[in-house]
Amino acid sequence: MYVLDRIIINGQQRLNGSVFVNGAKNAAVAIIPAALSARGICVIENLPCIEDVNILANAIRSCGIKAEFRDPHTLIIDSRNLTDYKLTFDLARNMRASYYLLGAFLGRFKKAIVPLPGGCNFGIRPVNLHIKGFEKLGATIEQEHGMIYAYADRLVGDHIFLDVASVGATINIMLAAVHAEGVTTIENAAKEPHVVDTANFLNILGAKIKGAGTDNIKITGVQELSGGTYTIIPDQIEAGTYMIAAAITGGDVTVKNIIPRHLDSLSAKLREMGCRIEEGGDYVRVVGASELNSVNVKTMVYPGFPTDLQPQMTALLSTANGTSVVTETVFDNRFQYVTEIIRLGCRVNTQTAQIGIVEGPSKITGAEVSATDLRAGAALVVAGLAAEGETVISNVKYIDRGYEDIENKLRGLGANIKRVNEQGEIVNRAPARDRIFDDTETLGHSIDEVAATLEAPNVVISA
Ligand code: UD1
């Protein structure tokens, strides 16, 4: 991780051309832990080359798992001989998604020890619903010295109602329930695309999950999962970020390799603002307008407007004519980033922790700003693209957690953007897998040996 890198943008270049979207971060960080539910070899394709995936790959290796990248986007995980159900990897504490190992270990071993995820920059993010779900399946959960201890003699399927349609709780309960006796139903389940993707992956491995993508998921437990090959869906939020970048520069950008339906809520808002949106099987073209209309936006669970696009959208609304009201309903404190976009001239008044009033059009001008979290960083990039003069963004490590090669992709669209290191030298950081594994223990076998075992008769491989 290059903590002191900065991104420098000289704004007001109209973006033009095509950009290719990578695999979904939020699916990747669920599917990698999910692979540990299987006593087999999993090949996970279309993983984004981002820091969160690197950290998680190292985290599972620390549990004694053999995991190696065949190429920057394909990870082979061999968890046939996994016996450890404890995660102590330090970096995992800062990464909420490591809590998926709780569900995966609890299901497979009936016990798990995983760090309690910390808070984050947009509020307290409790795990009470995850824990209630595990308890409903028969597990005992204890917390001590920052760790969660889960154990059960047996897990038995039950009916679980989620007070909030939590993505994390839905996936975590699913991970444990695939190995529970009998049937588990999750009511008021999250419907986000990565919930469906994780369920599809588990089904490839032999799980019996029905209804993912609806608010009622039914899981019939199985004895054991085997290996398989799976391709992760495209990243809805990365795609949305480039769509917004196109709109804020009045550009003409085709965002490729996506599932347009996942972007319906954003496409609808961009149309309302005056942009032209054309959709094909796996792409969306956004043609900006010389003047944009203000619109109100309320974040909701899927298929509503995603909270992870709220900061970028707020930056865009700053350039529209009139007042827009942005209402955040998913997280308590997601407007933290506003102090930074205000430095660029955006006029956003957060009346309460949930409501931001955006006055437009604002004259956006370059300044030195700092990313406060991943999507806040994306909002600064988006605003910087529209700004007059130079925008210098520090704390790029947050952006690197979720965007593969963002500066090269935007440069490909005509943006004047570069990354510099601590010394101010221009650097190119992607793709970056090998540097991650240079200093870690070797697997003890070559990737060719792993690939050879994929042909073994007891390993199920699905295309
Ligand atoms: C996931 C995404 C994140 C996205 C969010 C909402 C991943 C790795 N991250 O986060 O990018 O912004 O969904 O789409 O997929 N809650 C509880 N108790 C719980 C769990 C959640 O009260 O046990 C609350 C949270 O505080 C929040 C709301 O439920 O207010 C939604 O959170 P959740 O859907 O769980 O988000 P994450 O899974 O953490």
Q: Is 191 in the pocket of ligand 1 (CB under 6 A)?
A: no
294 and 353 housed in the same domain: yes
Check pLDDT > 80 for residue 86.
yes
CA of 415 to the centre of ligand 1 (A): 33
Based on the residue annotation, tell me whether 346 is a catalytic residue of this protein. Answer: no
Query: Residue-wise over 427-458: b if at least 16 C-beta within 10 A, else e?
Result: eebbbbbeebbeeeeebeeeeeebeebbeeee
- pLDDT bucket at 3, cuts 50 / 70 / 90: confident
Q: Which residue has the higher pLDDT, 120 or 187?
A: 187
Query: Are 357 and 375 contained in the same domain?
Result: yes
Neighbours of 33 (CB within 10 A): 28
Nearest alpha carbon, ligand 1 atom 15: 26
pLDDT at 2: 77
Give the whole-angstrom CA distance, residue 107 versus residue 406.
37
pLDDT of residue 434: 47
Q: Say yes or no: 198 and 239 in one domain.
A: no
Q: Tell me the C-alpha distance between 349 and 359, whole Å.
A: 8
pLDDT (mean) for 420-443: 64
Task: Output the CA 453–ligand 1 centroid distance in Å.
Answer: 37
pLDDT value of residue 145: 85
**Distance, CA of 62 to CA of 458 (rounded, Å):** 26
The rounded Cα 325 to chain-centroid distance in angstroms is: 26
Q: What is the pLDDT of residue 214?
A: 98
Backbone angles phi, psi at 295, to 5 degrees: -145, 160
Q: Could you tell me if 217 and 243 lie in one domain?
A: no
Residue 276 sits in a domain of what CATH number? 3.65.10.10
The CA distance from 421 to 270, in Å, is 35
Of 93 and 60, the one with more pLDDT: 60
Question: Cβ(129) to ligand 1 under 6 A?
Answer: yes
Per-residue pLDDT band at 124 (split at 50, 70, 90): low
74 with 167, same domain? Answer: yes
Count CA within 13 A, CB hemisphere, residue 23.
25
What separation in Å is there between the alpha carbon of 168 and the centre of ligand 1?
Answer: 6
**What's the pLDDT at 154?**
97
Residue 57 belongs to what domain range? Answer: 25-233+440-452
Tens digit of each residue's pLDDT (9 = 90 or more) over 272-291: 999 999 999 999 999 999 99
Instruction: Kindly give the distance from the C-alpha atom of residue 241 to the centroid of ligand 1, in angstroms, as a whole number.
Output: 20
Q: Is the CB of 379 under 6 A from ligand 1?
A: no
Distances from the Cα of 408 to the Cα of 217, 238, 411, 419, 430, angstroms: 40, 14, 5, 9, 9
Q: Tell whether 310 is covered by a domain.
A: yes
Cα-to-centroid distance, 11 and ligand 1 (Å): 33
Confidence class for position 26, pLDDT limits 50, 70, 90: very high
Please give the number of the atom of ligand 1 that sits closest to the Cα of 331.
30
Q: Are 284 and 332 found together in one domain? A: yes
- Structure confidence at residue 432 (pLDDT): 55
Q: Which residue has the higher pLDDT, 430 or 211?
A: 211
Whether the Cβ atoms of residue 49 and residue 70 lie closer than 8 Å to each other: no
**pLDDT band with cut points at 50, 70 and 90 for residue 152:** very high
CB 393 within 8 A of CB 11: no
pLDDT value for 446: 46
Could you identify the atom of ligand 1 that is nearest to the CA of residue 127?
A: 23
Domain match, 261 and 283 both = yes
Q: Please state the rounded mean pLDDT for residues 329-356.
A: 94
The answer for residues whose C-beta is within 8 angstroms of residue 144's C-beta and 6 or more apart is none
Residue 56 has pLDDT above 60, yes or no: yes
Of 330, 334, 401, the residue with max ligand 1 atoms within 8 A of its CB, to mutate for a pocket test, comes to 330
Query: Per the structure, how many domains does the chain have?
Result: 2
C-alpha dihedral sign at 453, 23, 114, 89 = positive
Measured from the CA of 130, which atom of ligand 1 is nearest? Answer: 23
Confidence of residue 123 (pLDDT cuts 50, 70, 90): low
Ligand 1 within 6 A of CB of 213: no
Ligand 1 and 130: CB distance under 6 A:
yes
Residues 204 and 270 in one domain: no
User: What are the backbone dihedrals phi and psi of residue 313, each rounded to the nearest 5 degrees, phi first?
Assistant: -65, -40
Task: Name the residue of 166, 373, 401 to mutate for ligand 1: max ligand atoms within 8 A of Cβ.
Answer: 166
Give the three-class secondary structure for 392: strand
Residue 225 lies in a domain: yes
Atom of ligand 1 nearest to the CA of 237: 11
User: Strand 41-45 and strand 228-231: pairing?
Assistant: parallel
| Judgement on whether residues 363 and 313 belong to the same structural domain of the protein | yes
| Residue 399 confidence (pLDDT) above 70 | yes
Whether ligand 1 lies within 6 angstroms of the CB of 111 is answered as no
Same domain, 282 and 221: no
217 and 245: one domain?
no
Cβ(55) – ligand 1 distance below 6 Å: no
Q: Measured in angstroms, how far is the CA atom of residue 256 from the centroid of ligand 1?
A: 27
pLDDT higher than 80, residue 417? yes
Model-level pTM? 0.93
Would you say residue 332 lies in a domain?
yes
- Based on the domain organization, do 98 and 198 belong to the same domain? yes
Considering the candidates 42, 120, 275, 346, report the single residue annotated as catalytic.
120
Ligand 1: nearest atom to the Cα of 29: 8
Task: Check pocket membership of 273 for ligand 1, CB cut-off 6 A.
Answer: no
Q: Is the CB of 128 under 6 A from ligand 1?
A: yes
What's the mean per-residue pLDDT of the chain?
Answer: 91
CA distances from 268 to 141, 243, 285, 419 (A): 43, 12, 13, 33
